[in-house]
Each structure stands twice: as C-alpha cells, then as structure tokens.
Amino acid sequence: QESVATPKRNIQLSNIVEECANGRRVSRVLELTPKKTQPDRAADDEPITPKRRGRPPSIAREQPVVLVDEEPKTPKRRGRPSSAGPSLSTPKSASKMKLIRSGAIKPNIHSRDAPVEDGANDLAIARERLHVSSIPTSLPCREKEFDEIYNFLESKIYDGCGGCMYVSGVPGTGKTATTTAVIRSLQQLSDDEEIPKFDYIEINGMRLTEPRQAYVHIYRQLTGKTLAWEQAYNLLDKRFTTKAPRRVTTVLLVDELDILCNRRQDVVYNLLNWPTLSTAQLIVVTIANTMDLPERLLMGKIASRLGLTRLTFQPYNFKQLQEIVMARLTGTSAFNSDAVQLVARKVAAVSGDARRALDICRRATELADDQSQKTNQEVTVSMVHVQQALAEMIASAKVQTIRSCSLMEQLFLQAVTAEVTRTGIEECNFLGVYAQFEALAAFSGITVPNTGRAMAICARLGASRLLICETGRNDIYQKILLNVSTDDVHYALQASKLL
C-alpha cells in the first residue's frame, strides 16, 4: 500500500512547495490541518470505510512536517491550534452533521407535554376515523387490484428473480395505499417464514430535490448512511451487478415516477435496468398518474425495460365512495346514510377522489359539532351539514367576490365587459376600458376617478384575479383580460344599484 501512496504524495507536495515559493498563497497549509486533527477524533465514533482510513490520514500527518522544514513561516503553524479554539460552533455543527450523515443521530421532533387523549364524543371518533391518514387495514373496493399486485410480488419473491410493474391512476384512487398494504401483508408472511425474506425500500419522486438523489435515498434505506449521489450510485451499482450468495430479494417502490424523468433519463434507466440483471434480485413497482407515461415520456429502451405488467386504478364511482366512507364509520352512528350518499355522488361526478370525499365528510362532522355545541344536544350529521360542507368546499366564490367589491370596482368590471362586447375580442386595452368607464359613470351620475386611480382599481382587481392585467409599466396601454365570464359579472351585479 505504501508504494501506491508515495507518488501521489510527491505530486501534491511539489505543488504546494511551488506555490509557497512563489509566495502566492499559504492558505493551503491551513486547509490541511483539519484533516489531521479531525480523523483522530472522529475515527473512534464514526465507522469509515477501510479504504479511507488507510491512506489519507497518513498523508496528512506527514505533510505539515515536511512543509515546516522547507518553509520559514513557522509562526503560522504555531498559531493554528489557538485560532481553531475560539470558533466553537463550527466543530460542533460539523461533527453533528457527520453524525447525522452516518445515521448515528435519529431524526426526531419535539414531543408534547402530555400525550393526546382520544375524544369520547361520537362525532369526534367519526372525525378521527374519517381523517385521510387513518388508513384501514383492508382497503374496500380494491380487492382485485390488491390480488394482482400481491400475486405479482409473491411469485417474484418466491422465484428470487427480478421484475418491474407499472401502476397508474388519477390522484386519490388508492394506488400507494394498496401497494403498501400488499407489502405489509407480505412482510407479515415473511416474518412467519412462509415466504423468503425480502428488503423493502420506497422512494418518492416528489420528496427528492433532483432525480439523482434517488440513489442517495435508496442507499440510505439500505445502510442508514448518507453519501453523495455519485458514491451512492457506484456502491449501488456494485451491489446489484456483482454476484453475492445469500442475497435477499429487494422490493423497491418508486412513487411519482414522472418526476424522476429528466432529459437524460439516466436515473429511470438505472432503476429499471437493475431488475433485468440476474444478480440483482430487485423488484421495482413504479407508481404514476398518467396511464400512457411509458409511451409518452420514457425512451424506447426504458419503456421496453418497464415491461407490460401494468395495472390501472379506475376512479371510484359513487357506490365505491359510499362504501369507503361507510367502512370507516362502522360502529358509530354519527352519520345519516343519505348524507354519505350525497357526498359520494357529488364527488364521484367531479373526480372520484377518495381524499375529497373523506375531507368533505370531516368538514360536515365539524359543522354538526358546532351545532351540537350551540344547541347543547346530540346531533347526527345530516343532509343540511353535508350540503353546507359541499358548498364550502366545491363552489367557487367569484360571484360573491364581485358583489363585495367597491362601487367603482364593480363599475370598472362592467366597463370591461362592455368593452369586450363592443370590440368582440377578449383582450382589451386600458384606454378603451377607461372610455367605457367614463361613459358608464356619466350614465350613473358618478364622478369618475382619474386614470391613476382607475389604474389602481385595475391593479386591485388584477391582484385578486378577477382581471388579468399586464404590468403597470405599460401604463395606459396595458392589456386587460376578463378572468370571469361576462355572465358572472351580470349575475353578480343584478341586484346592484348600478343597473
């Protein structure tokens, strides 16, 4: 080993000596010192790979000694330990960061004074169960999909080979919940030693700052250490490409696959290429929203590696949504069944998103709770509450916003609609609108604000996006677009004194 290290050291040394001789900089000498002092301290509590422990410290230890001989500026070195002394926060935070990266510090959040007690109220229990986060042990209405993923994973784990699967569907249709439920039940089986053991890793595209961080996350879940992505990639590549006896199967769940696709698509390629290697024993389940993502976004070679094992989650229809909500409510009598049906029908007509249905139901329980507090008696959630919750969470508020505008703002909106009708084009010019504004104001007997003030009105309406305006730099030539329909404006201003 020593013979390998020597030439490298010579090169480094000669560089430094040259720089110092020219008198250009001595800062390099300073930079070297932490290398000397830190590994000594950190080596005890931190497991470093043997490669690193072998060489670099020895170089670092020798270098300053050599330098001192050739360099007359000895005081620099003497001053060093004292200069490192006063700045206490750096070593503290640096060592802390090191501990975090090595996985020695467990991330945690501050704990509260006393643990939360569960509500005793029927409505409170219902509300807690209706929260999206409380996922039931068995997902209703997804039995078929569950079986399909289960069969796929179970057979792959049994055979000890690798494979890919692609799961798609619009948000809120139970993709991730079903997949994790499958894996949980498989883990249960492997704990009972009915199927072979396997590792489970999950990454989510949206939780990464860039696609390549996927390597870091995978590696961290395997070993607990945080490395730079290049290192993590090399180690992962080594792990999956080399043969190792007694390797267990790894199941990798990749959520939000479309975010991992950059222009080069190297990350997705690697993630889908590893399962094809016989040494890897990697099963990849990918989840995304669009059904035709492989054909639309991925390169041919990647789509080919993704294979044709695909599964699509359909949006829930109203019966399924009803069943989901009722399943969560078993045992409580907080809900009127008609009320649940109304929610299910309304949501199924818009998106078929289970999260939305649950959130609306939860809001309805809150409204019922308010009422029961007011009247001091038990209230079950009925149609009235659900209707109110639906109005709050689905309806848009444009009409009401127009109604609550000031008189001049309403007049200005009307001027914009008048200008749109006059010219026949959607986009109009501030000057034209101002002319209409003046005419309308004269008609209603109001003194019109000057252009500066009218522009301020325009900017205010633009800030709440009733209008879409250009920036103020264009002044009186700015283009204005109506962001609400003209019918909405007329409907809102019907009752107003302006007409």
Partner 1 sequence: MPVLQSEVDTTRKFIKARLLKDRASFHGYETERQHIRDLLQRTAELGESNSVLLLGPRGCGKTTLITSVLAELLPQQTFHRNTLIVYLNGLIHTDDRQALKSATAQMNLENAVDGKVFGSFAENLAFLLECLKAGDRKKSKSVIFLLEEFDLFCSHHNQTLLYNLFDVAQSAQAPICVVGITARLDVIELLEKRVKSRFSHRQIFLFPPEDDFDGRVQLFADLLKLPTEQQLRRMDATYTPIPKEALHNDELVLVRNLFNPMHFYRFSPKWVTEWNRHIDALAKNQTVKTVLKNIYDYDALEGPFRMLLLELVNGLDEDRSVITVESIQELGRSYEADDKVALVAGLSVLEVCLLIAMKHHSEIYDRDPFNFEMILTRYGKFANSSSTMQNIERSVALKAFEHLKNLELIVPMTGVGGGSKVLKEYQLHRLLLTYGQISQAVLKMQFLPTEIKQWAQSSLI
Q: What part of residues 315-354 is at the interface with partner 1 (CB under 8 A)?
A: 351, 353
When binding is defined by CB under 8 A, the residue of 32, 401, 440, 491 that contacts partner 1 is 401
Residues 54-93 that bind partner 1 (CB under 8 A): 89, 92-93
Smallest distance from partner 1 to CB 85, Å: 18
When binding is defined by CB under 8 A, the residue of 11, 100, 439, 499 that contacts partner 1 is 100
The DSSP 8-state label assigned to residue 107 in this structure reads: P
Is 226 a binding residue for partner 1 by CB under 8 A? The answer is yes
Beta strands 282-288; 467-469: pairing state: unpaired
When binding is defined by CB under 8 A, the residue of 257, 260, 398, 416 that contacts partner 1 is 398
Query: Quick one: 308 or 350, whose CB is closer to partner 1?
Result: 350
Residues 456-495 that bind partner 1 (CB under 8 A): 457, 460, 463-466, 475-477, 483
Please name which of 200, 226, 280 lies closest in space to residue 46, comparing C-alpha atoms: 226
Residues 118-147 that bind partner 1 (CB under 8 A): 119, 124, 127-128, 131-135
State the number of CA atoms in the 13 A half-sphere of 300 facing the CB: 0
Q: How far separated are the first and last CA of the chain, in Å rounded?
A: 93
Smallest distance from partner 1 to CB 28, Å: 24
- Site string (350-389) toward partner 1, x via CB under 8 A: -x-x-xx--xx-xx--x---x-------------------
Measured distance CA(363)–CA(357) in Å, rounded = 10
Residue 46 contacts by C-beta under 8 Å, 6 or more apart in sequence?
98, 99, 102, 104
Measured distance CA(322)–CA(316) in Å, rounded = 9
When binding is defined by CB under 8 A, the residue of 1, 82, 111, 137 that contacts partner 1 is 111
Q: Which tokens in the block code for residue 280?
A: 């890897």
Residues 269-288 that bind partner 1 (CB under 8 A): none
Question: What is residue 312's three-state secondary structure?
Answer: strand
Query: Quick one: 6 or 134, whose CB is closer to partner 1?
Result: 134
Kindly tell me the burial class for residue 64, based on how many C-beta atoms sit within 10 Å of its own C-beta (0-12, 13-18, 19 or more).
middle
When binding is defined by CB under 8 A, the residue of 2, 31, 69, 113 that contacts partner 1 is 113
> Which secondary-structure segment (H or E) carries 158?
helix 143-159
Measured distance CA(306)–CA(300) in Å, rounded = 10
Options 18-26, 214-222, 335-343, 374-382: segment touching partner 1 (CB under 8 A): 214-222
Q: Which tokens in the block code for residue 63?
A: 């270098």
